[in-house]
Amino acid sequence: MAVSTRVEVKPELLAWARERSGLDPSYLEHRFPMLNDWKQGNRQPTLKQLEDFARATHTPIGFMFLSEPPEERLPIPDYRTVGDLGIIRPSPNLLDTIFQCQQRQEWYKEFAQVTREDAVSLIGSLTMSMRVNEAADIIREALGFSISERGSTWTEALRILIDQAEKLGVLVMVSGVVGSNNYRKLDPREFRGFALVDQLAPLVFINGADTKAAQIFTLTHELVHLFLGETALDDVDLASAPTIPTERWCNQVAAELLVPKALLDTDFDGETQPTEELERLARKFKVSTLVLLRRVHDIGRLDWDSYKQAYRDELARILQILGERPSGRGNFFNTQPARVSKRFARAVITSTLEGQTLHRDAFQMLGFKKLSTFEELVSRLGAG
């Protein structure tokens, strides 16, 4: 009869992994009945038990053998603020999402080199010495995203903006979960998006757990970072005045691109009931009411204190709507290409059909396991 191998693990590492995961302690104690004994040093877990615990807490197994908890650092510049303070500890969901996007970016960069793609000309084409409205005009024209070109709904506007960005060479990935794991939901309160700059494979990731209107502003903001030639992680918090000059400039350009001051100044009706007017203008410009509130403040129709209170009230209303929204998963063949970027998916499919990439590796990068799924995706995307 085989004897299970028990391994020594520091109690503080078990506590660190639990806290890092954000999981309810009672959930882990129910799933691992001996967890308290392990943490008190009365008993050691078997190797399999430790592997299961690491998997449950989304912790790399190697970390569990360290002498003390590691200090995990974000691999990209962090421009987020919460109450004007930087967020200290990134969640496993955020870290895994960044690492996965970096891996996809690296693969696409090699693909672009092999296929001799041109460098993406927009990268680093603007500087912060430019006037905000001038930069906004340049990006809006490059994207073909004037007000008359945004469709009739926020969903349509977001699709148009993504398609236009990808035509310019940007990989745009939108997801509300880690990879294809619908149980690992991303929290828009932790981050809204990030941009990974590269001359051949610039990438933008948007937190799909946010509203469509919010995603439009986030995508625009991240694209401004790429036009500046910068990598950044953002929360795109319009309720505060960012202390980082780059973040402040990106916010201003994104806002001007979506809601030009001159147009809003002539269109805003201060006599109409505030919520009704915000929703009317939000529908016209295809932005969130939060963005509209900020622009109303920018044109001098709302002082700072009134704006901050109105923002808090409107944010609470939106969060309530999000909480009541059904969490349906939708059609896989509609959502998955958006999660990994249609441009990226077509490149992986092309490389696989040409025999340059193994089917196994393609399935892993695209987020599924079956050949039939791959074949259906080929048909849906018109690749191959």
361 is written with which tokens? 């590796």
- State which residues form the domain around 365: 336-381
Do 268 and 231 reside in the same domain of the chain?
no
In this structure, the answer to whether residues 160 and 112 fall within a common structural domain is: yes
- End-to-end distance of the chain based on CA atoms, in angstroms? 53
User: Is pTM, for the whole model, over 0.85?
Assistant: yes
- Residue that terminates a domain, selected from 284, 304, 324: 324
> Same domain for 362 and 299?
no
Please give the C-alpha separations between residue 8 and each of 50, 58, 343, 380, in angstroms, as whole numbers. Answer: 10, 20, 46, 50
Note whether residue 2 is domain-resident.
Answer: no
Torsion of CA 169, 175, 181, 185, to 10 degrees: 150
Count of the separate structural domains present in the chain: 4
254 shares a domain with 111:
yes
Note whether 180 and 237 are within 8 A (CB). no
Dmax (CA) of the chain: 83
Let me know if residue 183 belongs to a domain.
yes
- Kindly state whether residues 176 and 240 are assigned to the same domain: yes
Outline where 175-273 has alpha helix (H): 212-228, 245-258, 261-267
> Are residue 189 and residue 296 in the same domain, yes or no?
no
141 with 225, same domain: the answer is yes
Do residues 182 and 85 both lie within one domain?
A: yes
Q: Are residues 103 and 252 located together in one domain of the fold? A: yes
Along the 384 residues of the chain, how does pLDDT read in single tens digits? 455 788 889 989 999 999 888 888 899 989 999 988 898 888 899 999 899 999 999 999 999 999 898 888 899 999 887 544 445 678 999 999 999 999 999 999 999 999 999 999 999 999 999 999 999 999 999 999 999 999 999 999 999 999 999 999 999 999 999 988 888 999 988 999 999 999 999 999 999 998 899 999 999 999 999 999 999 999 877 777 778 899 999 999 999 999 999 999 898 887 777 778 888 999 999 999 889 999 998 888 888 888 888 888 888 887 777 666 665 556 777 788 889 999 999 999 999 999 999 999 999 999 888 888 888 888 888 765
| Residue 146 covered by a domain | yes
Q: Are residues 107 and 216 in the same domain?
A: yes
